[in-house]
Amino acid sequence: MEDKKIRLLRDESVSKAILKLSIPMVMGMMIQVLYNLVDTYFIGMLNDPNQLAAANISLPVFMMLMAIAGIVGLGSSSYISRCLGNKNYEEANKTISIATGILVILSIIVMVGGVLLSPSLAKGLGANNATFDYTYRYIVIMFIGAIPVMCSYALGQLLRSEGNIMQSVIGLTLGTVINIVLDPILIFGFNLEITGAAIATVIGQAATLLYFTYAYLSGKTTLKINLNKFKYDKKIFKEIFTIGVPGSLNQMLMGFATVIANTIAVNYGILTVAGMGIAMKIMTIGTFVFMGFSAGCQPLVGYNYGCGNIARVKEIIKKGIVITSIIGISLALVFGVFANYLIAVFASDAEVIDKGATILRALIISLPFVGGQMISTTSAQSMGKVVVAFILSISRQGILYMPLLVILNNMFGFSGFIYAQPITDVVMLVFSSILLFRVLPKSEKEGYTLKEEF
């Protein structure tokens, strides 16, 4: 059963292992960023700030789909990596089969419930008379496509849990290329406007899912999905949900935080909402780079923790934080210098560009600090540290950002509104690093075994 992917997790030097696993994943994540940026670019070409604003208002729905899928993807990936580290391949194969069954059931429930609730959700997300129709049309398509959107996201995580980064990247690339091709055809050729962007996204995700399915069925993976093994297993269900739920809370809270931010931004005008939406999409470049590195570190941490190699786990975490911090500083400098030009790529209105650039220059302060947070949170999830994962998941957006957003906006107005996130991220990097290293075992003898209880 042992292959070169397992040897990479166990034997390769830490720096090389992080880069070998993370760089392909970062490339895949950059391709994923294109989903957001390409949609924004073509919607911006409609020269309608209301549709740009609607795309931003709809973002929490996409984030919610990812978060629900991430419950299964994160939880099962963490356990699978530790099973592989303990050479328990039978348990790993059983876990991936059960996770796939849960994922399909969850996505069907979300699809049906989401379509029925879409009108109410559009209003709840902050859409007004000018943006409601566009927002509703976008989110209802997202819910109709919940199965490919959610399943492709989670299966990508499962591929990465066994160190199979390349198949994940190929699937993401295929879906993005299809999305890029379909966007102008559907938005302009068929005159579907923002609805066309949503349809193109769903079709791209469906293509990704089809490729991932092919990868598992054709023997290109270490683990095999066998739905005949889909049955209730108390231990596996516990592993999936006790890690997956806290791990996905952060993304769910990000969705709620975006709703609050949009609601506050509306008070500064719909052009501010449009500009903020573009700035946030550009910031996803940095966010997804960090997600790529944290995803690359995830199987490394999980496998070596399962092996009891605590010294290697600590080195992975430390080097991951250093690498992402350096990248964050570099991106912040580039975004700061070229902020106006970057916003202008997606909008022609002078006020949208001005507001977007101002917001972007505030948000980039977060970039040197976000990567380290993600490494810390992912590492806690990978090691099965349920309490730590839960605390880190709710702290950034829930305990800190949302209250700060409201308080600072009330105290300092627009400046308080846009600097709430950077202040949150500076605090969170220090807090997450200290908390994680306090709970790491002090020696190999204290390492993880599959019999360990939470």
Per-residue pLDDT tens over the stretch 86-98: 889 999 999 999 9
Closest CA to 383 of 203, 242, 273: 242
* 451 domain-assigned: no
Q: What does the alpha-carbon distance between residue 438 and residue 41 come to, in Å, rounded to a whole number?
A: 45
Q: What does the alpha-carbon distance between residue 198 and residue 43 come to, in Å, rounded to a whole number?
A: 11
* 144 domain-assigned: yes
Largest CA-CA distance found in the chain, in angstroms, rounded: 64
* 102 domain-assigned: yes
Structure token pair of residue 267: 């008070």
* 450 domain-assigned: no
Q: What does the alpha-carbon distance between residue 78 and residue 60 come to, in Å, rounded to a whole number?
A: 25
* 145 domain-assigned: yes
Q: What does the alpha-carbon distance between residue 11 and residue 222 come to, in Å, rounded to a whole number?
A: 18
Q: What does the alpha-carbon distance between residue 225 and residue 93 come to, in Å, rounded to a whole number?
A: 7
Q: What does the alpha-carbon distance between residue 364 and residue 339 come to, in Å, rounded to a whole number?
A: 10
Place of tokens 């599959």: 450
Q: Which pLDDT value is given to residue 208?
A: 95
Neighbours of 241 (CB within 10 A): 15
Distance separating the N- and C-terminal Cα atoms of the chain: 29
Place of tokens 């020696």: 443
Q: What does the alpha-carbon distance between residue 366 and residue 112 come to, in Å, rounded to a whole number?
A: 37
Residue 329 domain boundaries: 4-441
Neighbours of 238 (CB within 10 A): 15
Using left for φ > 0, alpha for ψ between -120 and 50, and beta otherwise, residue 164 falls in beta
Using left for φ > 0, alpha for ψ between -120 and 50, and beta otherwise, residue 219 falls in left
Residues with pLDDT less than 70, the chain:
1-3, 442-454
Q: Is 45 helix (H, G, I), strand (E, B) or coil?
A: coil
* 446 domain-assigned: no
Q: Which pLDDT value is given to residue 334?
A: 97
For 189, residues 6+ apart whose C-beta sits below 8 A from its C-beta are: none
* 452 domain-assigned: no
Question: What is the count of structural domains for the chain?
Answer: 1
Structure token pair of residue 27: 């490339």
Query: In the 8-state DSSP scheme, what is residue 449?
Result: -
Q: Which pLDDT value is given to residue 445?
A: 47
Q: What does the alpha-carbon distance between residue 349 and residue 278 come to, in Å, rounded to a whole number?
A: 12
* 348 domain-assigned: yes
The CA-CA-CA angle for residues 118, 176, 28, to 5°, reads: 110
Q: What does the alpha-carbon distance between residue 150 and residue 143 come to, in Å, rounded to a whole number?
A: 10
Q: Which pLDDT value is given to residue 442?
A: 66
Q: What does the alpha-carbon distance between residue 227 and residue 96 come to, in Å, rounded to a whole number?
A: 9
Q: Is 375 helix (H, G, I), strand (E, B) or coil?
A: helix
Q: What does the alpha-carbon distance between residue 169 and residue 180 come to, in Å, rounded to a whole number?
A: 16
Query: pLDDT digits over 19-32, tens only?
Result: 888 887 787 778 77
Q: Which sign does the torsion angle of CA 70, 76, 79, 85 carry?
A: negative
The helix or strand, by DSSP H or E, that contains position 395, with its residue range, turns out to be: none
Q: Which sign does the torsion angle of CA 159, 163, 164, 168 carry?
A: positive
Query: In the 8-state DSSP scheme, what is residue 105?
Result: H
- Asked if 81 and 304 touch (Cβ cutoff 8 Å), the reply is no
- Asked if 78 and 154 touch (Cβ cutoff 8 Å), the reply is no
